[in-house]
Structure 1
Amino acid sequence: MQSRVAAIIVAAGRGERAGQSQEGPKQYRRIGGRAVLAHTVATFRAHDAIDEIVLVVHPDDHALLAAALGPLIEGVTVVDGGRERQESVRLGLQALAGSPPESVLIHDGVRPFADTALIDAVIAAVSAEAGAIPSLAVADTLKRSGPEGVVTETLDRSGLYAAQTPQGFPFRKIREAHEAASVSGRSGFTDDASIAEWAGIPVRLVEGAPDNVKLTTARDIALADRKLRGDRAMIDVRTGNGYDVHRLVAGNHVTLCGVRIAHDQTLDGHSDADVGLHALTDALLATCGAGDIGDHFPPSDPQWKGAASHIFVQKAVAIIRDHGGRIMNADISLICEAPKIAPHREAMCEAIAAMTGLSRDRVSVKATTNETIGFVGRKEGIAAIATASVAYGESR
């Protein structure tokens, strides 16, 4: 009878070295049109020898996970992780303890290029007494640095290897090692093989794969995306336009681009009547053919009575993300005789940057009058025109 093999995929990290992104932590960023983590999970789901998958994620990431994996999540056990990788792995092992497998593979969720041959090699090398890890011989000359970055020593690289994942172990032994490390207060282990070594479990080396890289920085993610898209890669930047107008009535303020401005009139509308954000919402939705603001927030629905319009923009941002898009810039022109926009422009730009996840230099708010012509010139209403550009991961 073939022994049972489980896989634990660790994806609870915050990925700070990859920088901030509206897509979330690096495991949810898109490469080749879908999330890094989706590529990783798909590989293990497709492997004939893997009987069970436990996915360890951050407690705050369940919505991101569902959006990233879609149907891939079916049959996968999802576990909340801890503050450190070591604790996350321990919790993943704990989730398997009720029906323990003979062997377990532990893999980084941000290594999306592990392949069937590598997984086969690790599984084959695991025994009832010993673990196995993929590794590559160190090719670069190694230096030790002293104070102020001065080289103090050249190290002998013979016998040195860079460890990869998945790392495989006899389940009972590695679980006991993790529990012992936790009870003793030992932390700071950088991988599971180091815990195995500490617990006296032999660990064999198998040949790793040069492509089995861990995506750590924003550059790593960009290179992985380029690799997966290959010949399909092309510039896919889409531009959407939006227009909105609301009439002015007696009041004491207007809300424009998320900023409340004292005024002797107010904009009339079902929500807060923020023409700038309404136009921006339509511009964003247009980049992926997702209709307009009225489709998602109909004025006939009482729940949107008096609603703050940043809700509409954030919904459009989420729709773009679900379509694999990344907002590049937003530009809004306000057309009104009053109030004066210039004193509030910076606050408006900052508000829009926060709603969209854009940096400040990618947001523009401008204003012009209508030279006293028409309904705007007569101060009967305010209009807005918005343009947004969104880059999508691949042409569709």
Structure 2
Amino acid sequence: MGKPIRETIAALVVAAGRGTRAGAGIPKQYRFLDGIPVLTRTLRALCAEPAIATIVVAIHPDDEGLYAACIAALDESERARLLPPVHGGATRQSSVHAGLCVLDASTCPHVLVHDAARPFLSRDLIQRACMALVRHDAALPGIPVTDTIKQVTDDGRVTHTPPRDGLRAVQTPQAFRLAPLLAAHRRALDAGMTGFTDDGALAEWAGMDVHVFAGDPDNVKLTHEADFLRYAENDGVPRMISRMATGFDVHIFGPGNHVMLGGVAVPHAHGVVAHSDGDVVLHALTDAVLGALAEGDIGTHFPPSDPQWRHASSDRFLAFAAARVRERGGVIDFLDATILCERPRIGPHREAMRAQIAQIAGIDADCVSIKATTTEKLGFTGRGEGIAAQAAATIRLPVTRQSGDTA
């Protein structure tokens, strides 16, 4: 079969998708299996093959923090193989094209294109892909189809039953000579052909001679939530652990004609005295989320002694806390806040606050609750001297072996 091509192969990992079929939460390539992000597993497998000289990952522009967390788990020699990530496009085809454009065909004339959500690729499979490049310009791993395949119309009528002997279910990594594949992508783009979901099909359309080599049945693609439950190596403990924490904030009234509550400017006879915009709801929610992470409080990350936070919009604080949850592979399940004041009236602004908080935290409005109460004229809020909010946040974080029951 020949020897694999040595140190002249680049790997392009496609990780820009949203993975909506895998259910709510962060994109599937950043979710955890036994405490290890899916993308980290994929990159480690590719880094184990000496023939792969360099790796580039196409990511979504919103996933910089998630990507950084994934590669932080790699060792220094593995990270040295990585080029800076590229931003993918709206389709898999455009993401692959973006990645191909940063590779250098003069130093790495061959490329393996692999889906980030296939973290179980074996060393043998990678080597088969590399060895296929000795003979072919385009080669794809495939496994025999065991089920009978039916071609049907929209109304379910069977029109054709192709013989199984000639069918293969194609996987990644798919192996190509870089220059012809990049040229094929450019031709497709110029022709307005933007619907290819598989580089083998695009190469075939462009006239390349495409071959299939033996794939691996264990090289599954994580697609649905059930896949994560099926393939999680959880050692009998839950994959995710729930945490709940609370937060509280208070500000005295001062000059002004509105107060910021839940990211909404609520008209009032007073403003508040505060270093930032004084949004007690967002401050309390931020502390609740940070508390659930066990990462201190709002003053830890945004100290009032730092002039850069003077008059800062408090949505930045909650957005930061929510991003920290995502970066650790977690999910915000619910945010709840109670506003304590005699005035202003909260009811007319409740839904606007829920929508704004949901947008800031990156969750559904159904996962946000806003309540209000007076203190029966008691205390500083009862006397109309200020306003307060208490909050609770429920999140889930991945279980890791290293920490036992925390992320």
Question: If the TM-score is normalised by the length of the shorter chain, which range does it land in?
Answer: 0.7 to 0.9
Match of 1:99 among 97, 106, 116: 106
Q: 1:80 to 1:333 in 2, by over 3 A?
A: closer
Q: Does 1:77 find its partner at 2:83?
A: yes
Q: Does 1:8 find its partner at 2:8?
A: no
Which position in structure 2 is the counterpart of 1:352? 357
Q: Does 1:227 find its partner at 2:232?
A: yes
Contact 2:354 2:365 in 1 (8 A): yes
How many angstroms apart in 2 are the aligned matches of 1:245 and 1:150? 66
For 2:14, give the aligned amino acid: A
How many angstroms apart in 2 are the aligned matches of 1:89 and 1:260? 44
Contact 2:34 2:234 in 1 (8 A): yes
Shift, 1:327, TM fit: 0.8
Which position in structure 2 is the counterpart of 1:110? 117
How many angstroms apart in 2 are the aligned matches of 1:289 and 1:187? 45
For 2:315, give the aligned amino acid: H
Q: 1:53 to 1:146 in 2, by over 3 A?
A: same
Which position in structure 1 is the counterpart of 2:41? 39
Q: TM-score, normalised by structure 1?
A: 0.87
Shift, 1:178, TM fit: 4.9
For 1:9, give the aligned amino acid: L
Contact 2:53 2:81 in 1 (8 A): no
Mapping for residues 142-221 of structure 1, pairs under 5 Å? 142-171=149-178, 174=181, 177-178=184-185, 188-198=195-205, 201-220=208-227
Which position in structure 2 is the counterpart of 1:338? 343
Mapping for residues 291-306 of structure 1, pairs under 5 Å? 291-306=296-311
Shift, 1:174, TM fit: 4.4
Q: Does 1:378 find its partner at 2:383?
A: yes
SS of the counterpart of 1:246?
A: strand
Shift, 1:7, TM fit: 3.1
Match of 1:256 among 255, 261, 268: 261
How many angstroms apart in 2 are the aligned matches of 1:295 and 1:153? 65
Q: 1:242 to 1:74 in 2, by over 3 A?
A: same
Contact 2:25 2:330 in 1 (8 A): no
For 1:4, give the aligned amino acid: E
Shift, 1:95, TM fit: 3.6
Which position in structure 2 is the counterpart of 1:239? 244
SS of the counterpart of 2:140?
A: strand
**RMSD of aligned Cα (Å):** 3.0
Which position in structure 1 is the counterpart of 2:128? 121
Shift, 1:12, TM fit: 5.7
Give a deviation string over 1:105-156, Cα, whole Å, max 9, x none: 2212222221212112222333244543211111222222224333344443
Shift, 1:46, TM fit: 1.9
Give a deviation string over 1:61-80, Cα, whole Å, max 9, x none: 54543343236443312445
For 2:249, give the aligned amino acid: D
How many angstroms apart in 2 are the aligned matches of 1:64 and 1:165? 23
How many angstroms apart in 2 are the aligned matches of 1:343 and 1:253? 14
How many angstroms apart in 1 are the aligned matches of 2:398 and 2:267? 42
How many angstroms apart in 2 are the aligned matches of 1:257 and 1:344? 9
Question: What is the percentage of aligned positions where both structures have the same residue?
Answer: 44
Which position in structure 2 is the counterpart of 1:52? 54
Flag structure 1 segments of 5+ consecutive residues without an equivalent: none
For 1:11, give the aligned amino acid: V
How many angstroms apart in 2 are the aligned matches of 1:81 and 1:258? 31
Q: 1:263 to 1:58 in 2, by over 3 A?
A: closer
How many angstroms apart in 1 are the aligned matches of 2:379 and 2:184? 78
Q: 1:250 to 1:86 in 2, by over 3 A?
A: closer
Shift, 1:160, TM fit: 0.7
How many angstroms apart in 2 are the aligned matches of 1:38 and 1:47? 15
Shift, 1:191, TM fit: 2.6
SS of the counterpart of 1:294?
A: helix
Q: 1:322 to 1:10 in 2, by over 3 A?
A: closer
Contact 2:15 2:115 in 1 (8 A): no
Which has the higher mean CA deviation after the structures are superposed, 378-387 or 97-106? 97-106
Which position in structure 2 is the counterpart of 1:65? 67
Mapping for residues 302-317 of structure 1, pairs under 5 Å? 302-317=307-322
Q: 1:235 to 1:45 in 2, by over 3 A?
A: closer
Which position in structure 2 is the counterpart of 1:390? 395
Count the aligned residue pairs.
Answer: 393
Give a deviation string over 1:315-340, Cα, whole Å, max 9, x none: 11122222332111011111111122
